[in-house]
Chain A
Amino acid sequence: MTDARYDRAPGDISISAEAKERTLSDVGIYTIGLALAVILTATSFWVANTSLLWAPGIPLGLVVLAIAQMGVHLVFFLHITTGPDNTNNVLALAFGVLIVTIVVAGSLWIMTNLNDNMMLPAKLMNLHMQH
């Protein structure tokens, strides 16, 4: 048993006592991750090319699949868990996700709004062109 309770380094597989009792080997964890990632990637490529699905919903479906695959990578390859030794890693990740969401969603929102406002109605545009 360790004499102190430290955080776990991101990317490290748990070496605590309860981890020794789990049924899966370390190789098994990576292999499950690879299998899930392959399934999700194959689904993404199928969704993008199929004509069976409702076309306007496909971009949203692709985003959901990408988020799922990101989760698979974080859990099975980077070994981010909900355990108490991982709190700092998860908090840093949460902050990163917050900033990424603000940057991407905010840019798209503002630029769409701007494009809509720059587009003058046809009648006004014609008036504008005459002068």
Chain B
Amino acid sequence: MNIAVAVDDVRREALPSASEAGPAPKRIVVAYGFWIFLLSDIVMFSALFAAYAVLVRATAGVPAGAQLFNQVSVAIETACLLVSTYTCGMMSLAVNARRRAATYFFAVVTFVLGAAFLYLEVREFADMIARGATPQRSAFLSAFFTLVGCHGLHVAAGLAWLAVMMAQVAVRGFRASVERRLLCFALFWHALDIVWVWLFTVVYLMGVRP
């Protein structure tokens, strides 16, 4: 037992700690910086969530969530985003293995699912506005459109980013800078799904309860 510990110690000493090893590789620095950005983005979302939670009863006589939300549509949106997160992960693995065809395939699937999510959400918004539930009608609706619309804008930005990344893979191939951006995109896309988990829980599932 003691011998095993001693051998383990020798191996550990042979490896310098991260602070002694000098600056970390750029991939780690970039991904960590983007991780900090994502967390600050989530802090921004938390402010919108707080505003929504405070204003959810301020409906000013207009129909509240229970009459406006369509759970089937929300379930399909959730499924689209969840599967697109999975295919985004598959794309990351394809990028790590330098498999170009698989990268394109999973990127297209991710893009189509994200676009389907966005289409359903825009249709839901249009339907609500057609029924008179516009953002300026009540404090509840202002908070709702700000919160859900902000997430929708993030998804739209993610789709544009994914399209640009595929163009970069096509033109420049898997060089280090492109790989770093693809890693950041994957982080962004997974984080958006975490925000959506809270959105469908707080806004839609709690909202449909009387």
Contact = CB atoms under 8 A, between A and B. Distances in A.
Interface stretch (B49-57, B120-128, B150-158, B161-169): B49-57
B25 A99 contact: no
A9 B28 CA distance: 4
A52 interface: no
Nearest to B29: A9
Interface in A84-108: 88-89, 92-93, 95-96, 99-100, 103-104, 106-108
B50 A107 contact: yes
B197 A70 contact: yes
B181 interface: no
Given A5-B16, A27-B90, A30-B86, A66 B198 contact: yes
Contact of A107 (B24, B30, B53, B208): B53
A73 to B, nearest CB: 5
A55 B47 CA distance: 28
B75 to A, nearest CB: 6
A107 B209 contact: no
A77 B89 contact: yes
Nearest to B191: A78
Interface string B185-206: 0110011011001101110011
Number of chain B interface residues as a range? 35 or more
Contact of B16 (A4, A89, A93): A4
A106 B53 CA distance: 11
B71 A45 contact: yes
Contact of B205 (A44, A70, A108): A44
A66 B90 CA distance: 24
Number of chain A interface residues as a range? 35 or more
A99 B93 CA distance: 32
A22 to B, nearest CB: 15
Q: Which 7 A-B pairs have the closest CB atoms?
A: A9-B31, A4-B21, A96-B39, A107-B50, A48-B205, A100-B46, A66-B201
18 contacts: A7-B18, A10-B35, A11-B31, A31-B86, A37-B82, A41-B82, A44-B201, A70-B198, A73-B194, A77-B85, A78-B190, A89-B35, A92-B35, A95-B39, A104-B49, A106-B50, A107-B51, A107-B54
Interface of A: 3-13, 26-27, 30-31, 33-34, 37-38, 41, 44-45, 47-49, 55, 58-59, 62-63, 65-66, 69-70, 73-74, 77-78, 88-89, 92-93, 95-96, 99-100, 103-104, 106-108, 111
Given A7-B18, A11-B183, A77-B190, 16 more contacts: A4-B18, A5-B15, A11-B186, A33-B89, A37-B82, A44-B200, A45-B75, A59-B206, A62-B205, A66-B197, A66-B201, A73-B190, A96-B39, A103-B50, A104-B46, A108-B53
